[in-house]
Structure 1
């Protein structure tokens, strides 16, 4: 049986651990060649071995997504080696959480540079090739924080809200060129084996798994979702308002 992503090339940022790793492995399991990126080279190489187990081609790129030049270089090198990038998943980001009145300008700049600009730079770099081929799938990772606004994470909520808005705006520009742009926004996803602190956030009574979040990403990146663009999917187990 043909796998959903045979012949496709996926570029996944923040793929060293957790959600990003699950997304990269999911693409590989379904036949895609994968470029994985992160700043943590050791953990990224662990992901590489998991991806290689499915017999697909895999490339690693160690860089900070907040570095515009490094992002463009990584995209260019991947396109030269693989011939194209069909799918871009912007997963890299940080989740600091700070008292709003104690947040200084350096904190804001770091958060904006990584979460917002670190999403925008890879998109800017990959779009020309997608436009030329008339095909592309861009999936950004948002958060329920960007939808509801979480009082305990004002800074993080702001950046994720920006990513959701970016997704919707880009879709209005590039969908007609054959490129879908969507966002997947997780609620409480268990990446630390701390079920106890997250049980109260979902009516399902448990946090989600990275694999469950990855399943949603794979769907919107697939041709099964070819008529879907500009949408933000909540993967939150029916989240309780906070």
Structure 2
């Protein structure tokens, strides 16, 4: 047990969707606390830029082009991380898609893209990394869910497929936590509220009054609002925490 419970020295974190937004911020937070970091995404240029930014902070980083909705690409990426770093002790399932939709007119292809990435992709990553964690005696899996996974979102927010995928991810978190607890693997989820990211920029810009009405804190979340939670769940401080979903939402789910 480290003297500093939040010290991640010697740990290896795999952060999906780690080239931008909240994924990049979480990768940086883990790296700043001592972890070596592997990030994946679909855009090679963004990945290179993110890796260079992390390396400027002396964070050892590996970047991988990977579409997590493709099981074979996930397995290839996990094998590459093992080749480079020798292990994976932390998985952050962050990669995801979001789109406005109306359930009456939601096209199958749009539904499937979101489910394939947000839910199936997270499972593929957890399965591939989970096998390694079992061999190595444990690890931490942190799924990035959403408050949209707790309940239906009131109008004018139209994110049916996204909310359903995140609801499934919350149950997947609990299912894996129960199945893998005796193997030393802690599986938890973070459910962010509305955060300022590229994906939510249009919503925040056009629905300011609705957002202020939804959130007791009267503001959208900033990137740094997730730093402490991700480090806590990845660290030895959370060794007896599993199957939990922590909402980071400015009080949105409290009323």
- TM-score, reference length from structure 1: 0.94
Query: What does 1:221-232 correspond to in 2, within 5 Å?
Result: 221-232=234-245
Answering whether residue 32 of structure 2 is matched by residue 26 of structure 1, we say no
1:235 counterpart residue number: 248
Cα distance in 1 for partners of 2:143, 2:177 equals 12
Post-superposition shift, 1:148? 1.8
Q: Tell me which of 168, 172, 181 is aligned to 2:178.
A: 172
Report if aligned partners of 1:131, 1:177 keep a CA contact under 8 Å in 2: yes
The CA RMSD measured in Å over matched residues stands at 1.8
- TM-score, reference length from structure 2: 0.90
1:57 counterpart residue number: 60
Unaligned runs of 5+ in 1: none
1:102 counterpart residue number: 105
Q: How many residues align?
A: 242
Q: Show structure 1 runs of 4+ deviating over 4 A.
A: 192-196
Unaligned runs of 5+ in 2: none
Answering whether residue 120 of structure 2 is matched by residue 117 of structure 1, we say yes
Query: What does 1:179-190 correspond to in 2, within 5 Å?
Result: 179-190=185-196
Report if aligned partners of 1:203, 1:239 keep a CA contact under 8 Å in 2: yes
Q: Tell me which of 161, 165, 170 is aligned to 1:159.
A: 165
- Could you give the per-residue CA deviations for residues 222-242 of structure 1, whole angstroms, max 9, x where no partner exists? 111111000000000001689
- Could you give the per-residue CA deviations for residues 106-152 of structure 1, whole angstroms, max 9, x where no partner exists? 12211111111110111111111100111210000000000122252
Query: What does 1:173-212 correspond to in 2, within 5 Å?
Result: 173-192=179-198, 194=204, 197=208, 198-212=211-225
1:46–1:241 distance in 2 versus 1, CA, 3 Å? same
